[in-house]
Structure 1
Amino acid sequence: MTDSALSAQPFLQAPARVPEAPAAALPFALAYSRYLQRQAQAREGWAERVQAGAGHPIDVTWLSARFTELFDTKAVEVETALKRALRLLRNEVFGALVERDLSGAATLDEVTGTMTDLAEFAVRMAISVIGQELSALHGQPIGQSSGEVQELVVVGMGKLGGRELNVSSDIDLIFLYDDDGDTQGGPRPLSNHEYFTKLGRRLINALADVTEDGYVFRVDMRLRPNGDAGPLACSLGMLEEYFVVQGREWERYAWIKGRVITDPASPHAARVIQQLERVTGPFVFRRYLDYGVISAIRALHAQIRNEAAKRSNGANQQRDSTGHLQARSPNIKLGRGGIREIEFVAQVFQLIRGGQDFGLRVRPTLEVLRAASERGLIDAEAVARLTEAYRFLRQLEHRLQYIEDAQTHNLPGSPEDQLRVARMMGFDDYAALVTKLEAYQDEVAQHFDQTFSDKQDSQPPCAAVWHADLLDEEHTETARAQLAELGYANPDSVLERLRATRNSPRYRALSEVSRQRFDLLINRALDHASRQTDADVTIARFLDFFDAISRRSSYLSLLSEYPQAMERVAHTLHASRWAADYLTRHPQLLDELLDVEALSAEPDWPAFRARVRDRLQAASDHVEMQMDILRQEHHAETFRVLLQDLQGMLSVEHISDRLSDLADAVLDLTLETVWQQVTTRHREVPRFAVVAYGRLGGKELGYASDLDVIFLYDDDDERAPDVYASFARKLITWLTSHTAAGMLFDVDTRLRPNGAAGLMVTHFEAFRRYQMREGDNAAWVWEHQALTRARFCAGDAEIGERFEALRTAVLRQAREPGPLRDEIVAMRERVAEGHANPTGLFDLKHDRGGMVDIEFTVQFLVLLHSAAHAELTLNKGNIALLRMAGELGLIDATAAAQVADAYRDFRARQHKLRLDGQSVARVPVDTCADEAAHVRALWEQVFGPAQ
C-alpha cells in the first residue's frame, strides 16, 4: 500500500477491533507495515497463512508445530534448512503479532511474551540441531570434575531475560558451561571450551545471519565478561572470578534480568541455574541496603542521555531539574522521559534492597514497580502513572518498528510515516500523538529526577570548620572561634574529636568518593548539632555514629542523597543516648528514616506478619538470610516505636503494648520458620506453644527487655519429647544468636517447672499437674505469683486456650491469707537482699516504696481474692488491677488510685532514664517522695509494716 493511500485508511481507535468480515487478509498489518507489504508481495499465499495464525494467541505448542512443518529434515545441508525454517517462522510470527496488536486483539504483554517465546524456541532448536552435528564429529563434552555430560547454557539478558522483548529487538546472550574438560566419543575431540565456543558461533550464525529469508534475531554478545575482548563462552568458575576481580557497576544492572533460556526442564539446566544464582546473586544484590547505586545509576544515565541528545540534532531544547539544557530527544527509549528512565526507577529499588528482600528479585519492569509499591517504597499513584507511560511508550516503540521491521526507537522524520505512526497509535494526526507523548515523557522525567537528582551540592555554613587546615596547629584559634560561634560549649574538646576522626585509620582508608561524602556529612552534622541545646553531646554521638558506618559506603550515600534523613538522625542522636547507641549498632535502620508515613502510622500486625512471612518464604533456602530478615524487621519496627516515642506520640503503656505485640509476632514467625528447619519433625504443624511471663507476660516490655518464656507441647507421639526439645533449642538459638543484622532477644527459660533443672519443654498435662499441685512435684507460691503475669503469646492457639483456662483455675484456688502473706513477704525480702542500693538515690524498681512493692502487692491481691472475684485473673496490667481492687473494696480506693498513678510515674521515669543510657533507674529521693510514701502506705495496709 502506498503512502498516499494511507490517509484513506479508516482511523484506528485504540484499541481497534477486527472487522467482522475483512476484505483481505491482514487488513491492519498490511495497511501500516511496508515490511509486511513486501513479504505479502514476494510470497504467494503468505498473508492468508499468517492471517490464520493471527486468529489466536501464539504459544510454544504452535511454534513447535509450525517449525516442524517448515523444517526440511531430508535436506542435505541441515543447518541451511534450520536457518530457512526459523526465518520463515519468525516472519509469520511477526506478521501475526502486528495484525493482532493493531486490531486490538493482543495486549502489550502478549506481544512481548510471544516474541520472548520465539527467541527462546529459536535458541533451543538451533542448539539441538547444531549440537547433534557437532557431537557426531567431536563427541559429548564431559565435565572434568563431575564426569557428567555438559550442555551449553544460554543466559538471556536485558528484555529477553525480563520476557519483555520487542518485535524488532536484538537479543543479548551470554554463553556459559559449568565445568572444564574434553569431549569424548567423537573422532575429533576438543576441549569443552573449544566445543562450546564453536557451538556458540554457529548458534549466532543460525539466528543472525541475513539470508534471502531475512534473519531471526540480531545477537549481541557484548554483555559477556570483558565484552568483545572476552571469550565467547566461559565457565561458571571464570564468571565468578570475573565478578570478584573485575565486575563493574553497570554489569550489576545488566545481570538483574539475566535468565537461563535453554531448556529449564533438563536436570543439567536445573543444576546450572542453581549454581548461576549462587554466583550472580552476591554480585548483583548486596546483603546490606545499597544506596550507593543512586549516584552510579545517575552517572550511567547521564552518559546514555547525552548520547541520545547528540543524536537528536539539538531539537526542542529545554532545561531539566538541574538547570542544564536537555534536548527533547526523538529517541523514546534512551531520551528524556523514555523507557530506560522507567527501567532505572524500577531497578534502583532492586539494587538497593534486593539483597534483603527476595520479593524484589523479579525481572519484568512493571512487576518490579508493583512489588515496590506493595512494600511502600513508591507511591501507588506514581506506579500507576509510570505503568501507563511505560505501556504507551512500549506500544509506540512497536509501532515504530512495524513499519520496516527496524530496530529503531526514533520518531519518524517524514510526514507520511508520522501520520502512519499516529494512526497506529489511535490519533487523528501526528501533533496529537506528540502532545500525548511529551506529557508522558515529562511525567517520567520528573519522577526520574526526583529519584536521582543530586542532593550533595549544598554545603552548610560551617563547612570551613572541617577542612585540610584542621590538622594545622596554626589554624587552631580560627577553628576554635568558629566552633564557639556555632554554639559549642567546649570547642577544644570538639576540635580534638574532629582531629582524631580525620587522623583515624578508618578515615584514611576511605575511597575518594566515600571521603567526599564523609566530609559533606561531617559538615552537615556540625550544622545540625549546633542547633541542639547540647551541641557538644550531639556532635560526639554523631562522630561515634559516623565511625560505625564509615566502612559502608551505602550508608554514606543514603545520608548524602537524602538530607531529610540526616535531619532525623540529628534529632534521634540528640534526643536519647539509648536511641543513639541503637542506631549506631543497627545503621541499616537509616532506611526507616525515609518513610515519613510509617514513622507516624499505627502498626498493622496482620500486615506485618504477612509481609515478613512472604520474605521468609522467599528466602527459604537461605537460613542465615532468614535469621537476618527477622532481625531487620524487628529492629525496624522497634525503631519506629522509638521515633514515635521521641516525638512524644506514645505513652509508656502504648510503647509497652507495641513492643509486646511485636515480640508476639516475631515469636510466631520464628516458630513457623524454625519448625521447617527441624529435620526430625513428625507433623506439618507443631503442637507447641510459647507462654510469656514477666514483662512480656504483663505486656510491659521495654526496648531492651529479656523474654521470660516457657515451652509447652501437647503431642502424644513417641517422638514428640525429643523433637520438641530439639525444636526449642533451635528456637532459642535463632532468637539469641548474633548475626550480621544483630540479635533478636535475650531469652530466659528459668520459670519453667523445676527451673533450670527442669526439662526445656513440658507436656501440657505434666504442666497442669505441676501447677495444680497434683503429686510430689508441685509448684511453689512464687511460681503462682509469676503466673499472675503470664499469658499465651505464640504457637498453637488451642494449647494457648487451655493454658489460659488452667491459669484461671490456678489463680482462683482458695488460699489462706496468713501463709500466703508470709510467703510473699519473705520473697520480697529475698529480692531486696539481691538488689542492695549503696547510693543515696531512690531506686525506682527495687527500693522500698518502688515498683517491686507495687507488683508484689498486686500479685498478693490476685492470688488471695480471685476465688471470689474472677475478674482479677484478667491479665490487664498492674495499673488496671489496682483500680479494680479498689473498686471491689479489697483495698482503699483512694490509695489504689494513688499507687496506680505512682506506678505509671515510676515506669515513665524508668523509661526516660533508660533512653538516657542509664541501666539502673535511680533518682533523687525528693523527686518522688510522695509517690513512694503512697506505695509504702499501701504495703503496710496489705502486709503490715515492712521489716
Structure 2
Amino acid sequence: MPSLADIAETSRYLGRLLAARPDLAADVESTLERPVTAAELSAWLAAQAVTEDNLKPVLRQLKQRAYARIAARDLSGLAPLSEVTECMTLIAELAVRKAVEVLSQGLVERYGTPRGADGSAQELIVIGMGKLGGRELNVSSDIDLIFVFPEDGDTDGARSVSNFEFFTRLGRGLINAIAEATEDGQVFRVDMRLRPNGDSGPLVCSFEMLENYFITQGREWERYAWIKARPLTGGRHDELEKVRHPFVFRKYFDFGAINAMRELHAQIRREVAKKDMADNVKLGPGGIREIEFIAQVFQLIRGGRDTPLQIKPTQSVLKLLAERGILSLDAAVELASAYTFLRRLEHRLQYLDDAQTHSLPVPAEDRQRVARAMGFASFEALLEELDDHRATVSRHFGQVFADPNHGEHALAALWHDAGGAAREDSFENLGYRNPPAAAQRISALRSGPLYQQMSQDIRSRFDVLVPRLIEAAAALPNPDETLSRGVDLLESISRRAAYLALLQQYPQALQKVAQLVSSSSWAANYLQRHPILLDELLDPRLLEVVPDWAGFRTQLSTLLEEQEPDTERQMDTLREAHHAQVFRLLTQDVAGLLTVEKLADHLSELADILLAAAIQRAWLKMPKRHCETPKFAVISYGKLGGKELGYASDLDLVFLFDDPAPEAGENYGRLGTRLNTWLSAQTSAGQLFETDLRLRPNGDSGLAVSSMESFRKYQLESAWVWEHQALTRARFSAGDRAVGDAFERIRCEVLRQQRDLAKLREEVLAMRQKMVDAHGTRGDERERVFDLKHDPGGLVDVEFIVQYLVLGHSHRHAELTGNLGNIALLKIAGDLGLIPVDLAEKVRNAYRDYRRMQHALRLNAAKARVAPDLVQQRVDAVRELWRIVFDSGQR
C-alpha cells in the first residue's frame, strides 16, 4: 500500500490539500481501504447545522473530504473507475440538493411559496446534464445544469413575486453557492449553456416553455445533450419526462441522427484543429467524446423503440449494443477498454492541479507523474498504449460515422440526365433485359410529381440511392424485376426520411434489399407494408441465428408487461414483433436455408406464442374477471392446426372454455370477442392475423366461445362429416393447458367413433367434388396448367385421403388420431396395411414436392399452377392412391 506521501507525488493539489488540513490527512489515511459511500456523505452533511451564512464553507468541506479520499483511493489503485465517477456524482448531487433546500427556505420566508394555477406548491427542478446526468462525473469537472419549474404563477407571501422571478433568484443563488471561488475553493464550476437558447435564454423556464422550445427550436445536438438529462431536485418528474422523452427519442428508427452527429463531430474536430488540441484525450481524435458519440448515436436512432437503450451511462450502453448485435462484441469490448483507459488518464491529468484539463502535459516532470499514476515506467510507454486505444476508437468511429456517399456515384448521370437513347444504351450495357422499360421507369420517377415535390433533404437522399439501386439490381439474375420492385419500395417510403437515411448510411442494407426483392415479389410487398423491417437488414447475424422461441416468448412477455396499461402500444408491439420474426424467417427462406416444413414449424410456433400473449393481455383488460387465469383455450384448425402455416395464411380458430363459474360464459364470450380484435384489428402497425371463426359449433350462427360440454355435445350429435374432417387437423395452440387437454380427449373420442365406411366415403367424395367444382381448373385449361392445390391428384386429394383414413379406421388404430401431419400419417397408414407402403411413400414425396412448388410460386405472388408434364408422375401416384382408397375409378 503506497503512503500518502507517495500518492501526493502524483497530485500537487492533493498534496497541498492534505498539508493544509492535517485532520483530513489523518482521516484519509485511516479510511483508505474503505470506499466512500452515499450514506456516509449524507450523514456527515446532515450533522452540520447548515444556514445561508455557512452554506458555502460547509459544501466546500464536503467536497474536500470526499475528494481527498476518492483521489487517494484512485491514485493508490484501490478504486475502479465506476467508484470514482459515482463518488464525484454523489458530491455534486448532495451539494445541489442542500443548496436548493437552504436557499429555498430563505426565499420562501421573504416572498412566500410559489404556487401553480390550482394552488399547489411549486419546486425548482435542477436537471443534471452530461456526465452528471449519466453518473459519470470526472474529478475536476464542471457540472452542466438546467433549471425548470412546473407552472407559471406567483408566490403567496406579502411581498409576492412571480414564480419565474422566485426561481431565477434561487437559481442564481445556487450557482453562487456552488461555483464561487472562496478561500475554501469551489465545489464545482457550473455551466448553464445547455439551457434553452443558451446564454441568451432565461436562467429558468417552465415546463410549457421548455416543451414549446423543443417543438419549435430544439436542434439535433440538443437531443444528444438531453439523453443524459436527470432531475436532481423537486418533484413532478413524470411530467418533465413526458416533455423530454419525445424530443430525444423518436417513435421510429431515426437514422437521420447519424448525419446530425457526424456534422456535430466535424465541428468539434475543426475546433480541435484550430486550437491545436491533438493531445486532448477528450476531444482529440480517438478520444472520450468519440466513444460517447458511438454509444449515443445508437440511442438516438433506436432508443424510441428499444426502451432499454434509454439508459444513461456510456459503458452500460456499449454493453447493450453488443447484446443486441448492433455493435460486435469485439468492438464493444475494445471501446469499453479504451473508455476506461482514457477516463483514468483524464483523471490523472486533472489530479495534478485540480484543473479542468484533458490535454497531456508538456513539462517532462508532469509527464512522468502522469505515467507513474497510470502504472507505467515511462511516459513513452504510456503514450504507446494511449495511441493504440485512440487508433482503435478512431477505427470504430469511422466505421459508424464514415460518410458512405462521399463522391459522386458512377451511375449518377444515368439518374440525372434526361437523354433517352443514351440511357437505354447504358441499361443495356448493365445487363438489363428490357432497357427501354428500365429507362422509362427511371425517367418517370425523376420527372414525376413525387420526386418533384420532395423537400430538398429527401430529394438529396433519393439522388444518392437511385444510382446505387440501379447498380445493385444489375448485379442480380433478374435486374428488370429487381429495379421495378426496388423503385416501388423507394416510392413507398419517400416521405419517411429515417428509412431513406438508413439505406443511404448503410449501403449493405440497400444491397440486401435488392437481393430480397429480387428473390420474391411477396417479400418486396411485405417490405413496402412494413418498412420498419429495413432495420433488420443491419443485423449481420440475420442469416445465422436460429429462432430462440423460448427466449422470444420471455422477451415479448416482459416488454408487454412494461407497456401496461397502454393497449394500443401493446397491440402494435405484437404486430411489430410478428413482422420482425416473419421477416427474419423470410430472409433465411429466400436464401435457401429453410425447408418448407421447417419454415411452417417456425411460423406455427410464432403464431402460438402471439396467441398466448394476446390471451393474457386481453384477459387483463377485462373489467370483470372472476379468476386470475382464464380457463380458456384457443384451438387451431387448418394450416395452423396442421403446423403447415405459410406467410399469408389466415388462422382458423375455435375458442373453448371449461369453467363452472356462473359468470364464466359471459366473461369468456367477451374475452373471445376482445381476443379476436387483438388479433385481427388494423392498427398503425398493421394487422396481426386474419382470423376465421366459422369452424366453431354452428358456424356463423353459433356462439363465439363454446363451453367444453357444448362443444362435445355438438361434435358427437350435430357436426357434419366435413367438420370431423377438419377436426383431424385441430390442436391446442394457446391458453389453459388443462382446457387444451380436455379438447384433445374429445377430439380423439370423436375421431375414434366407428363409422359406416360406405356412407363416409360418399360424404367425403361429395365434399371433394364441391371443392373441385369451385376451385379446380376447367376443360381445356386443365390441358395447359395443373392447380397444385385443388385439381385431382393435388394437395387437397392427399389431405382428403388422410382424413378419410383417420375417420374410417381410428376406432381400430388409435395412432391415427395423432396430429402429426399428412406425411407422417400416410406412413402410419402404410405401416398398418391400410394403403400400399410403396404407394404411400410416393404420395408422401409428392405432397412434399407440391408444398415446395406452391411455396416458391406464392413467394412471387403467382397462382399455385404449373405445367401438367412437370408433375405428371406425382399426380399419377396421388390419383392411384385415391382410386385404391375410394374405389371410385379414374376422375
**TM-score normalised by the shorter chain: which range applies?**
over 0.9
Query: Paired residue for 2:877?
Result: 934
Measured after TM superposition, the shift of residue 369 of structure 1 is 1.3
For 2:630 and 2:407, the matched residues in 1 are separated by 57
Query: Paired residue for 1:161?
Result: 133
Query: Paired residue for 1:219?
Result: 190
Measured after TM superposition, the shift of residue 651 of structure 1 is 2.0
Measured after TM superposition, the shift of residue 430 of structure 1 is 1.4
Query: Paired residue for 2:330?
Result: 381
Query: Paired residue for 1:412?
Result: 361
Query: Paired residue for 1:454?
Result: 403
Query: Cα distance 1:669–1:501, how it changes in 2: closer, same or farther (>3 A)?
Result: same
Q: Is 1:524 equivalent to 2:468 in the alignment? A: yes
Query: Paired residue for 2:506?
Result: 562
Query: Paired residue for 1:325?
Result: none
Contact 2:657 2:706 in 1 (8 A): yes
Q: Deviations over 1:461-517 (max 9, x none)?
A: 4322111x42xxxx2222233223323343333333223212333323333333222
For 2:36 and 2:478, the matched residues in 1 are separated by 70
For 2:791 and 2:800, the matched residues in 1 are separated by 13
Query: Paired residue for 2:570?
Result: 626
Query: Paired residue for 1:171?
Result: 143
Measured after TM superposition, the shift of residue 250 of structure 1 is 0.7
Query: Paired residue for 1:611?
Result: 555
Query: Cα distance 1:621–1:154, how it changes in 2: closer, same or farther (>3 A)?
Result: farther
**Does the residue aligned with 1:175 lie in a helix, a strand or coil?**
strand
**Does the residue aligned with 1:111 lie in a helix, a strand or coil?**
helix
Contact 2:637 2:653 in 1 (8 A): yes
Query: Paired residue for 1:109?
Result: 82
Query: Cα distance 1:915–1:240, how it changes in 2: closer, same or farther (>3 A)?
Result: same
Query: Paired residue for 2:71?
Result: 98
**Does the residue aligned with 2:667 lie in a helix, a strand or coil?**
helix
Q: Is 1:835 equivalent to 2:835 in the alignment? A: no
For 1:191 and 1:242, the matched residues in 2 are separated by 21
Query: Paired residue for 2:490?
Result: 546
Contact 2:542 2:587 in 1 (8 A): no
**Does the residue aligned with 1:89 lie in a helix, a strand or coil?**
helix
Q: Is 1:137 equivalent to 2:77 in the alignment? A: no
Q: Is 1:577 equivalent to 2:521 in the alignment? A: yes
Query: Paired residue for 2:413?
Result: 464
Q: Is 1:79 equivalent to 2:52 in the alignment? A: yes
* Count of aligned residue pairs for this structure pair: 886
The residue correspondences of 1:606-685 to structure 2 (distance < 5 A) are 606-685=550-629
Q: Is 1:788 equivalent to 2:728 in the alignment? A: yes
Q: Is 1:514 equivalent to 2:458 in the alignment? A: yes
**Does the residue aligned with 2:155 lie in a helix, a strand or coil?**
strand
**Does the residue aligned with 1:928 lie in a helix, a strand or coil?**
helix
For 2:746 and 2:244, the matched residues in 1 are separated by 54
Query: Paired residue for 2:155?
Result: 183
For 1:803 and 1:417, the matched residues in 2 are separated by 81
Q: TM-score, normalised by structure 2?
A: 0.95
Q: Deviations over 1:62-94 (max 9, x none)?
A: 22221234445xxxxx32311111111111110
Q: Is 1:442 equivalent to 2:414 in the alignment? A: no
Q: Deviations over 1:883-936 (max 9, x none)?
A: 221121101223222222222222222212211113x42333343233233323
Measured after TM superposition, the shift of residue 836 of structure 1 is 5.5
Measured after TM superposition, the shift of residue 548 of structure 1 is 0.9
**Does the residue aligned with 1:792 lie in a helix, a strand or coil?**
strand
Q: Deviations over 1:135-159 (max 9, x none)?
A: 1111111112x33111111211111
Query: Paired residue for 2:685?
Result: 741
Query: Cα distance 1:485–1:867, how it changes in 2: closer, same or farther (>3 A)?
Result: same
Query: Cα distance 1:926–1:356, how it changes in 2: closer, same or farther (>3 A)?
Result: same
Contact 2:9 2:369 in 1 (8 A): no
Query: Cα distance 1:200–1:806, how it changes in 2: closer, same or farther (>3 A)?
Result: same
Query: Cα distance 1:173–1:713, how it changes in 2: closer, same or farther (>3 A)?
Result: farther
Q: Is 1:244 equivalent to 2:211 in the alignment? A: no
Q: Deviations over 1:231-254 (max 9, x none)?
A: 211111121121111111111111
Which amino acid in the other structure matches residue 57 of structure 1?
A: P
Moved more, 383-392 or 511-520: 511-520
Q: Deviations over 1:558-594 (max 9, x none)?
A: 2122222211111111111111111111112212222
* Aligned-CA RMSD value: 2.2
Measured after TM superposition, the shift of residue 938 of structure 1 is 2.0
Q: Is 1:945 equivalent to 2:888 in the alignment? A: yes
Contact 2:14 2:71 in 1 (8 A): no
Moved more, 112-121 or 625-634: 625-634
Query: Paired residue for 2:120?
Result: 148
Query: Cα distance 1:485–1:147, how it changes in 2: closer, same or farther (>3 A)?
Result: same
**Does the residue aligned with 1:793 lie in a helix, a strand or coil?**
strand
- Report sequence identity in percent: 52
For 2:659 and 2:810, the matched residues in 1 are separated by 31
Query: Cα distance 1:150–1:722, how it changes in 2: closer, same or farther (>3 A)?
Result: farther
Contact 2:70 2:79 in 1 (8 A): yes
**Does the residue aligned with 1:597 lie in a helix, a strand or coil?**
coil
For 1:356 and 1:798, the matched residues in 2 are separated by 36
Query: Paired residue for 2:36?
Result: 58
Contact 2:776 2:787 in 1 (8 A): no
Query: Cα distance 1:92–1:615, how it changes in 2: closer, same or farther (>3 A)?
Result: same
Measured after TM superposition, the shift of residue 683 of structure 1 is 4.0
Alignment equivalent of 1:68, drawn from 27, 43, 46: 46
For 1:544 and 1:744, the matched residues in 2 are separated by 24
Q: Deviations over 1:601-623 (max 9, x none)?
A: 32121222233333333433543
For 1:492 and 1:247, the matched residues in 2 are separated by 47
For 1:459 and 1:654, the matched residues in 2 are separated by 45
**Does the residue aligned with 1:712 lie in a helix, a strand or coil?**
strand
**Does the residue aligned with 2:568 lie in a helix, a strand or coil?**
helix
Measured after TM superposition, the shift of residue 694 of structure 1 is 0.5
Query: Paired residue for 1:122?
Result: 95
Query: Cα distance 1:876–1:460, how it changes in 2: closer, same or farther (>3 A)?
Result: farther
Q: Is 1:298 equivalent to 2:262 in the alignment? A: yes
Query: Cα distance 1:68–1:578, how it changes in 2: closer, same or farther (>3 A)?
Result: closer
Query: Paired residue for 1:204?
Result: 175
Query: Paired residue for 1:12?
Result: none
Q: Is 1:484 equivalent to 2:428 in the alignment? A: yes
Measured after TM superposition, the shift of residue 688 of structure 1 is 2.7
Query: Cα distance 1:154–1:683, how it changes in 2: closer, same or farther (>3 A)?
Result: farther
Measured after TM superposition, the shift of residue 305 of structure 1 is 2.6
Which amino acid in the other structure matches residue 64 of structure 2?
A: N
Q: TM-score, normalised by structure 1?
A: 0.90
Query: Paired residue for 1:15?
Result: none
Contact 2:28 2:72 in 1 (8 A): no
Query: Cα distance 1:458–1:940, how it changes in 2: closer, same or farther (>3 A)?
Result: farther
For 2:136 and 2:147, the matched residues in 1 are separated by 20
Query: Cα distance 1:214–1:245, how it changes in 2: closer, same or farther (>3 A)?
Result: same
Which amino acid in the other structure matches residue 302 of structure 1?
A: A
Contact 1:460 1:527 in 2 (8 A): no
Query: Cα distance 1:721–1:380, how it changes in 2: closer, same or farther (>3 A)?
Result: farther
**Does the residue aligned with 2:850 lie in a helix, a strand or coil?**
helix
**Does the residue aligned with 1:80 lie in a helix, a strand or coil?**
coil
**Does the residue aligned with 2:113 lie in a helix, a strand or coil?**
strand
For 1:491 and 1:847, the matched residues in 2 are separated by 39
Q: Is 1:193 equivalent to 2:136 in the alignment? A: no
Q: Is 1:826 equivalent to 2:766 in the alignment? A: yes
**Does the residue aligned with 2:732 lie in a helix, a strand or coil?**
strand
Q: Deviations over 1:164-194 (max 9, x none)?
A: 111211111111112122111x121112222
Contact 2:113 2:121 in 1 (8 A): yes
Measured after TM superposition, the shift of residue 870 of structure 1 is 2.1
Q: Deviations over 1:364-394 (max 9, x none)?
A: 1111111122222222232222222211111
Q: Deviations over 1:689-723 (max 9, x none)?
A: 22211000101111100011222233334443333
Measured after TM superposition, the shift of residue 740 of structure 1 is 2.8
Which amino acid in the other structure matches residue 87 of structure 1?
A: R
Q: Deviations over 1:392-443 (max 9, x none)?
A: 1111122221221111111111112111111111112211111111111111
